[in-house]
Amino acid sequence: MTPRYPADLYAVTHTGTPGDLAFYRELCRSADDVLELGCGYGRVLEALAPLPCRLVGVDSDADLLAQARQRLAGYDDVTLIEADMRTVALDRRFDRVLVPHSGIYCLPHEADVLAVFRRAHALLRPGGILALDAYTADGFHEDAKVDDFDDHELLPVAHVHARGKAWRVLERSHWDPAQQRIVVTYVYRSEDGEAYDEGRIDQRYLLRPQVLVLLREAGFVDIAMAGTFHGDPVHEDDEMWVVRAVATGTAGAR
């Protein structure tokens, strides 16, 4: 079982990819109903909340949802649900379904990713759009060596404030290319030397062709993959990918 990542430390450390909030706001500007799968502590929902649409956020982590409820307490048209995004059942359909910030990588197997894509398709109105973004793994999966990842080396990545303290954040990574898995442990040491904590993110990344195959299998059409939030074509040296895919009919509803 993956150790719990303290929600307060997660929220101040993992703050998204530059440009993502503007992208999702523009995408949802004309929508009436928007669903975010893996909404975490409510960062994206908070950016969408001023829009004239109804928002639903789903996450399986109760502590992160508690953070989201605090952030979104002033908004009436936001519903937060503790559920598994592979199986969540809702009583309405949506114009947009979002899975931001590599959320799709938190699923342990390709079958789970397909289950989420099928669930998204079933929850979208015909012509509705699924949108997601993630870091690009294709380059290092092809070119890196396992020895490049030292399981014991701690690398500094950030300085954050939480719990009334300043913290140094360091990370160490374990990579299993055969399973397409990366386990990253984040170590938190307070600047005053009095406190220590840590959290772990266990991801199974996908290569870009895998994402496209799974979307098609789930019933999506008009699938567009870009290398930036501005819609630039995908290049080998891109650090991220962004996908928009359209739902048609009831294909993928299972």
Predicted pLDDT at 36: 98
Q: What are the sequence ranges of the domains in the chain? A: 7-136+206-247, 139-204
Q: What is the pLDDT of residues 162-194, one digit of tens each?
A: 999 999 999 999 999 999 999 999 999 999 999
**Given a cut of 50, is residue 251 above it in pLDDT?**
no
> Residue 131 corresponds to which tokens in the numbers above?
């949108």
Predicted pLDDT at 252: 36
Grouping H, G, I as helix, E, B as strand and the rest as coil, residue 198 is strand
Q: What is the pLDDT of residues 127-164, one digit of tens each?
A: 999 999 999 999 999 988 877 777 889 999 999 999 99
pLDDT more than 70, % of the chain: 97
**Given a cut of 60, is residue 208 above it in pLDDT?**
yes
**Given a cut of 70, is residue 1 above it in pLDDT?**
no
Q: What is the pLDDT of residues 55-78, one digit of tens each?
A: 999 999 999 999 999 999 999 999
**Given a cut of 50, is residue 242 above it in pLDDT?**
yes
Q: How far apart, in Å, are the Cα atoms of 192 and each of 13, 158, 164?
A: 19, 16, 11
Predicted pLDDT at 113: 98
**Which of these, 109, 63, 67, lies nearest to 86 by C-alpha position?**
109
Average pLDDT along the chain: 94
**Given a cut of 90, is residue 211 above it in pLDDT?**
yes
* Nearest-angstrom CA–CA distance, 211 and 33: 25
* Length of the chain in terms of residues written: 254
Predicted pLDDT at 109: 96
Q: How confident is the model at residue 3 (pLDDT cuts 50, 70, 90)?
A: low
Whether residue 182 contacts residue 205, with contact meaning beta carbons closer than 8 Å, is answered with yes
b/e 140-163 (16+ beta carbons within 10 angstroms → b): beeeeeeeebeeeeeeeeeebebe
Task: Flag whether the pTM goes above 0.75.
Answer: yes
Q: What is the mean pLDDT of residues 14-21?
A: 96
CATH topology for 139-204 is N-terminal domain of TfIIb (2.20.25)
**Given a cut of 90, is residue 225 above it in pLDDT?**
yes
Class of CATH domain 7-136+206-247: alpha beta
Q: Which amino acid is at 145?
A: K
Predicted pLDDT at 47: 98
pLDDT more than 90, % of the chain: 90
